Structure 1
Amino acid sequence: MAHGGNLNHARALFPQAPEPWIDLSTGISPYSYPHPAIPGNVFARLPEPNSACRLKEVAARAYEAPSAEHVVAAPGTQILLPIIAGLVGGPRSDPAFGPAKGRAAVLSPTYAEHARAARLAGLAMVETEDFDELASADLAVVVNPNNPTGRIVTRKDLLALTSVMQARRGLLVVDEAFMDVSDAESAAGLVDHGGLVVLRSFGKFYGMAGLRLGFALAHPDIVARIEAQLGPWAVSGPALHVGLEALADTAWKAEMQVKLHDEAARLDGLLNKAGLTVFGGTSLFRLIRDRRAQSLFQHLGKRGIITRRFEERPEDLRIGLPDPYGWPRVEEALSAFDPTRG
């Protein structure tokens, strides 16, 4: 399974599992933002340009970007990855790069779509665990906090790398998809330096991944290049409507941050009782690194609880938060896990 959230795949793996499934394979909050009903005319009309402009203003305040001119609103951050990767590189004379347009380096292990997008853009790809190696690339990618490990790169280190990338006419992409549940400092305030794009996901923290809404924060010159490729009406009317309300609701955000932190601690307690140690993660998911990870995946799957495993790292297992109705089943399943087996 390349990504989480595929219940059809889960059913094929565990055809006898009880329904409904509890999907813990994603890092999406189990608590959707409680928006009021969306007016019918929002679905009937093309999105209004002034609504898109207002969303950029609200997003700039929410994510602490310098201004609305530094914000791209998009139908999810996923669609932005190949567009951004295509902004860098060009014909190269260095034979070490071969025929590729340039070189991309992704701080790994992390979300696999960044590497795929770089390859689609014609860049030679390297995945590295050495932060310093990113400075030699035309496109450098850091997921911060990282998915799935929760690793944090400091704002100071990101600023230093941004300066290097700007001098080399390269680009640093900092994917802050899980920054809403982190105590780390966002890099959003640095984007006016140039050489930097910060990505922010709406759907994960607000529990509305199906709405498809995300943002890129960058220097206005970069914003203009990205928006030219997205074209008009990039964000749907319903997404504009919900996004405008949710991003301005600071009270709900603060309450949810506390709630998710507490529930992550609750999950840690259940995992520890089952003899498992949490290696890392964020308040929206926990990462187990244990030789029994595959046994736990099977144990939970047979009980209708799907988690995220990694073929290339069989000792890793990522576990998201259940909704209120799922907690009893998760607690029962983990209490039945035998840590001496597997």
Structure 2
Amino acid sequence: MSKPARDHGGGLDAAIERYGGTRLDWVDLSTGINPVPYPVGDIGPEAWTALPDQAAMNRLLKAARSFWNVPDDAEIVAANGASAIIAKVPYLANHVGGAYIPGPTYNEHAAAVEACGHSWVTDDPDDAYLHVYVHPNNPTGRMWDANRMGGRPLTVIDESFCDMTPGESHIGLTEGPGILVLKSFGKFWGLAGLRLGFAIGAPETLFPVDRYKLPLQTEKKMPIASLVDHLGPWAVSGPAMEIGAKALSDHDWVEKTRARLAKDAKRLDALVDWPLVGGTDLFRTYEVPDAIEMQDRLAKGRVWSRIFPYSKTWLRLGLPAPHQWDQLEAAL
């Protein structure tokens, strides 16, 4: 028996089936993805036809190390999207025990813990070998203090939405053990379909396990090395490596994009005129009287939004593309 789909943004096909129209008729604001993506340009034919080689991977990792100011002693692992890494995280510390994931937050972290079979989500931070913080948080935009990070066998900081505010990054914490920072390429660069993500951490990312009196499930192995084993060979496609290395080195595009996103986020706040729960420059979460009713109202104007199973009043909107603002205003 198949499990029900987990709650996410997207799902535009289901909205079309219910409300009509075609994909071209709709403005999909249910995800926090840059609506003006990085221009990928021409991709060399060898990127499509040859197995991904180490030289291409080295170029990608060098660009990532430079862009995120990764400490010299930290290592980087690239994967087929941040979600591929998230799915492996509960296996990395090799412990049986609890995982503390303060919410509401991105639900794939808890789903990965529950799927691994030897861990569980706990509300007690002191009863957890694994801590996960989404920074800034999705959907509230909350920023987590660096002083709260660490002190566990493994602390994961998911910075998928941090590229709009690089000064808030906790990448410097990866100099020490026990910290793994995740980066997503699809959000800020608007290329979610490319599937590219990164894990960054010191080679020795575990504290002594006897400090926490946690039983080992299997023989101890450092998470960075364990992650490479779990992902297997060719974890990133040739086109993704070529595009990623190019985009991470294009600082002019990055600065212009940050300015545009910040301006558009303020424009969206002014347009909807709803109380702001929080968000980032890629998405805004608002308080509305009835989230289901408001989603329905927008959908009748061919605008798809995001609501949440744990709140009757939260509605999240991504940013429209330049040509989509009039349609959003009409739907409102």
TM-score, normalised relative to structure 1: 0.86
Match of 1:189 in 2: 172
Residue deviations 1:206-261, cap 9 Å, x none? 00000000000011243222112212211100000000000011111111011000
Residue deviations 1:106-155, cap 9 Å, x none? 01000000000011122443365xxxx43431111100000000011122
What SS class does the counterpart of residue 326 from structure 1 fall into? helix
Report if the CA contact (8 A) 1:107-1:127 is conserved: no
Report if the CA contact (8 A) 2:288-2:294 is conserved: no
What SS class does the counterpart of residue 168 from structure 2 fall into? coil
| 2:196 counterpart letter in structure 1 | L
Structure 1 segment 117-128 matched on structure 2, within 5 A:
117-126=112-121, 128=123
What CA distance in whole angstroms lies between the structure 1 residues aligned with 2:44 and 2:295?
A: 42
| 2:99 counterpart letter in structure 1 | A
Residues 172 and 263 from structure 1, CA distance in 2 versus in 1: closer, same or farther, beyond 3 angstroms?
Answer: same
Shift of 1:105: 1.1
Structure 1 segment 286-325 matched on structure 2, within 5 A:
286-325=284-323
What CA distance in whole angstroms lies between the structure 2 residues aligned with 1:200 and 1:135?
A: 26
Shift of 1:184: 5.0
Structure 1 gaps of 5+ residues are 91-100, 335-342
Identity of aligned residues (%): 39
| 1:237 counterpart letter in structure 2 | G
Residues 111 and 141 from structure 1, CA distance in 2 versus in 1: closer, same or farther, beyond 3 angstroms?
Answer: same
Residue 145 of structure 1 pairs with residue 136 of structure 2? yes
What CA distance in whole angstroms lies between the structure 1 residues aligned with 2:75 and 2:121?
A: 29
What CA distance in whole angstroms lies between the structure 2 residues aligned with 1:138 and 1:292?
A: 38
Residue deviations 1:58-106, cap 9 Å, x none? 111111211386100001010111212111253xxxxxxxxxx210110
Report if the CA contact (8 A) 2:38-2:191 is conserved: yes
Match of 2:249 in 1: 248
Structure 1 segment 188-267 matched on structure 2, within 5 A:
188-220=171-203, 221-267=222-268
What CA distance in whole angstroms lies between the structure 2 residues aligned with 1:56 and 1:16?
A: 42
Structure 1 segment 1-342 matched on structure 2, within 5 A:
2-15=7-20, 19-67=24-72, 70-90=75-95, 101-126=96-121, 128=123, 133-158=124-149, 162=150, 164-165=151-152, 170-182=153-165, 184-220=167-203, 221-272=222-273, 276-334=274-332
What CA distance in whole angstroms lies between the structure 1 residues aligned with 2:127 and 2:168?
A: 24
Shift of 1:54: 1.9
Instruction: Count the aligned residue pairs.
Output: 309
| 1:307 counterpart letter in structure 2 | S
TM-score, normalised relative to structure 2: 0.88
